[in-house]
A and B are shown apart, each in its own frame.
Chain A
Amino acid sequence: MAFVVRSARVPPNSATFEEARQRTLEFFRKACRSIPTIMQIHNLEDVVTISQLRSTISSEIRKQAHITNPKVIDMLLFKGFEELNNILEQAKQRHHLIGQYVIGREGLVQDHRTKDQGISDFLKNFYSSNYF
């Protein structure tokens, strides 16, 4: 199977932090270039735009901005490529993408704990379901 072979290829370790940084940028470019294909094969036009996906990718990368160890960066990049491959090969499907990258980490169920302070149990139950 094609994607097994491609994703199994492990590049040599980055020698320096600079090299790892370069590779990260490459990964970002590659990911950005695949967005139109992803949108097309997963039929995402009506739920998300290209720029939204792009910023999701960059924010996923930025989440790891504090890491300086090139080995760790390499490992994360490997996982990134793997994920990208999975998406392009449609090993991940539309709902995975929507769940992970469109709706995002906070999910559909939002955390209202701070807002809910001072309201009665009745109202808390009311917001969650009709049956209580």
Chain B
Amino acid sequence: MTRCIQCTRCVRFASEVAGVQDLGMLGRGSGEEIGTYVEKLMTSELSGNVIDICPVGALTSKPFAFKARNWELKGTETIDVTDAVGSNIRIDSRGLEVMRIIPRLNEDINEEWISDKTRFCYDGLKRQRLNDPMIRGPDGRFKSVSWRDALAIVAEVALQVKPEEIVGVAGRLSDAESMIALKDFLNRMGSNNVWCEGNGVRPNADLRSGYLLNSSISGLEKADVFLLVGTQPRIEAPMVNARIHKTVRANHAEVGYIGPPTDFNYNCKNLGTGPQTLLEIAEGRHPFCSALLAAKNPAIIVGAGLFERKDKDSILSVVNSIAKLGNVVRPDWNGLNFLLLHAAQAASLDLGLVPESDNSIESAKFLYLMGADDVELDELPSDAFVVYQGHHGDRSVYRANVILPASAFSEKEGTYENTEGCSQQTLPAVPTVGDARDDWKIIRALSEVAGVCLPYDNLSGIRSRISVVAPNLLRVDEREPALIHTDLKPDCQQKLSTEPFSSAVDNFYMTDSITRASKIMAQCSASLLSKK
């Protein structure tokens, strides 16, 4: 028996918000049924929202359905960290366990939707967790030790190497508090080689307009022409994509896309695959220019995947010239946008986590990975000492010498800044696993053991330190727009390579240590990605 009352809210959601025509009404009259046509899956990254939308509970969340009663759950209003959008979510927990994640209303960011990755990744929080400090013995196996011993060893090694051989990398899920602690700690050790994953070499951290979504997520609704440069919003930031989809539906905005072939759920012109097309537009040779020039509020969205390219500066200067040509940046409208990939990126650039030298990994003797799982460790010297502080036994653990267990986003209070520059805070929903500690506490404790004690003992102390560096991070739930625009940048003479743009995210469902540990995400990628 089904509870469905044929209200077709789910069908309307699928076609109007998610932009896929997968759900529909089969049969007519008393034989009416809601379903996907001919055993198809609903292949949308927003499909989970039909659960919230269904008024009678005919559509249920497969991992959550019948696992808990509503009144047993404790709701914690917090922030999602699986992408750079910072969707507002509520974590419902029972005891020590996260039972489900559902969206919270925030008209400026995620409206009332969240992506499937946000909604279903939580089973990753229970798997592969690190719960004890561990040291790799001479036989290559990890042995649990006490925090005292682990910190003593890390501090001893850190004090033995030369300051410039100390390198720190913050992971894509790091909060602002731990990043400033990491930076302060490394600075006190005499090194300034600290950065955040995904920002590439020599990131532009001076002008906030150079890395934020300047027209804001809700502001994208005003745009009438979009130019997507090397970004696939559908997999990089589904909530931003939903905004673009909404705009396209509402005012028939034109969308041009430069990048590798990908799926869009709205009409989109594929203009080309690489910088060459970009150059043509900048020089006014491309047919898309007429659309750009005719637009009232043109929006250019540049993907943060480009930050990793060698010719990044020249690409950005070409984009700048397109912006000038199309009059994209005006006092009343800033349409030059950068779409970041990871939750930690915006805050890290605000806090100035910029490496001093380009190839510090190659000369590192002491590498501190704070949840960083996607750094290239091939170049790392084999005698380097690697400390991995994190919550999941993910990629970097294979190379680590010492593991310090930390708490995940659902277990700590932390500040995150999303891609449009709005800072938000997570709240702990469940207690930490095992003997794990909050990220900033570990670094604070380590600094004391190493004899370079950091001057803060609690969150308010560390926040007053942040207020000196980036006060905007403390104005929670407020978007702090960038004030100065990119025109000030000197023109770059770097050569543009002809190499086409590559996609920044190859598997939407598995982008970080939490989602990679999740069984549901693994099943999603197996059944949904193979179809394409």
CA distance A127 to B444 in the complex (A): 12
Chain B residues whose CB sits within 8 angstroms of the CB of A115 once the complex forms: 148
Interface presence of A1 (CB below 8 A)? no
Q: Is the CB of A123 within 8 A of B436?
A: no
Q: Which residue of A lies closest to B411 (CB)?
A: A130
Q: Does A120 contact B (CB under 8 A)?
A: yes
Residue of B nearest to A116 (CB): B148
Point out the residues of chain B lying under 8 angstroms from A121, CB to CB.
Answer: 457
- How far is it, in angstroms, between the C-alpha of A74 and the C-alpha of B464 when the chains are bound? 69
With A120-B457, A122-B457 in contact, is A130–B437 under 8 Å at CB?
yes
Known: A130-B407, A130-B437, A130-B438. A123 touches B449 (CB 8 A): yes
Cβ of A9 < 8 Å from any Cβ of B?
Answer: no
Contact B449 A130 (CB under 8 A): no
Count class of interface residues, chain A: 10 to 19
Look across to chain B and name the residue whose beta carbon is closest to the beta carbon of A122.
Answer: B457
Q: Chain A interface secondary structure, helix, strand, loop or mixed?
A: loop
Chain B 147-160, CB within 8 Å of chain A: the 1/0 string? Answer: 11000000000000
* 14 A-B interface contacts by CB (under 8 A): A112-B148, A115-B148, A119-B448, A120-B457, A121-B457, A122-B457, A123-B445, A123-B448, A126-B147, A126-B437, A127-B146, A130-B432, A130-B436, A130-B438
Q: Using Cβ atoms and an 8 Å threshold, which residues of chain A touch B441?
A: 126, 130
Report how far A121 CA is from B444 CA in the complex, Å: 12
Contact flags B445-484 to A (C-beta < 8 A → 1, else 0): 1001100010001000000000000000000000000000
Residues A102-128 near B (CB distance < 8 A): 112, 115, 119-123, 126-127
- Cβ–Cβ < 8 Å partners of B448 in chain A: 119-120, 122-123
Which residues of B from 242 to 264 have beta carbons under 8 Å from A?
none
Closest approach, in angstroms, between the C-beta of B195 and any C-beta of chain A?
26
Task: Digitize B127-169: 1 where CB-to-A-CB distance is under 8 Å, 0 elsewhere.
Answer: 0000000000000000000111000000000000000000000
The complex places the Cα of A126 from the Cα of B439 at a distance, in Å, of: 12
B436→A126 contact, CB < 8 A: no
User: Which residues of chain B are within 8 angstroms of A130 by Cβ–Cβ distance?
Assistant: 407, 431-432, 436-438, 441
Note all chain B residues with C-beta closer than 8 A to A127.
146-148, 445
Task: Tell me the minimal C-beta distance from A89 to chain B in angstroms.
Answer: 34
A residues near B432, Cβ cutoff 8 Å: 130
A126 touches B407 (CB 8 A): no
A114 CA / B265 CA spacing, docked (Å): 66
Provide the residues of chain A in CB contact with B438, threshold 8 Å.
130
Name A131's closest neighbour in chain B (CB-CB). B431
Closest A residue to B436 by CB, please name it.
Answer: A130
Q: Please, how many angstroms separate the alpha-carbon atoms of A119 and B407 in the complex? A: 24
Bound Cα distance from A131 to B148, whole angstroms:
17
Inter-chain CA distance A127–B457, complex, in Å, is 14
CB distance from B488 to the nearest CB of A (A): 42
- In the assembled complex, the Cα of A124 lies from the Cα of B148 at a distance in Å of 10
- Complex: chain B residue closest to A126, CB-CB: B445
Q: How far is B457's CA from A35's CA once the two chains are assembled, in angstroms?
A: 51
Closest residue of B by beta carbon distance from A121: B457
CB neighbours (8 Å) of A123 from chain B are: 445, 448-449
